[in-house]
Amino acid sequence: MAQPTAEAVFRNEPGLTVRSAGTSEGARIKITAQMAAWADIIFVMEKRHRQLLQQRYSIPMHIVVLNIPDEYRYMDPELVVMLQDMVTPYLR
């Protein structure tokens, strides 16, 4: 699952507070309305994740779709590089 990977990659970045949560029933930590409202930016792997969030919660959310297939294992080196390349520009 990619969410814990993204949290691990970015949790030590100065000035950031990072949390991960999933949209599926099988997610270790499922996103809640409170978590969605707390976030300045929500990064999701696929468009279907954004659609689920928008359907579930009628609160304003800044959602960025990374268009990365949600099929990688935790800390997969290829996934880590993609996350760094795609997320870092939003953090500046």
Please provide the DSSP assignment of 37-79 as one string: HH-S-EEESSHHHHHHHHHH--S---EEE----TTPPTT-HHH
Share in percent of the chain as helix, strand, coil (round to 5): 45, 10, 50
pLDDT grade for 92, boundaries at 50, 70 and 90: confident
* The model's pTM: 0.90
Domain range for residue 32? Answer: 2-91
Total domains in the fold of the chain: 1
CB atoms within 10 A of CB 3: 22
pLDDT grade for 1, boundaries at 50, 70 and 90: very low
Q: Which two tokens stand for residue 36?
A: 């969605």
Whether residue 3 is predicted with pLDDT greater than 80 in this model: the reply is no
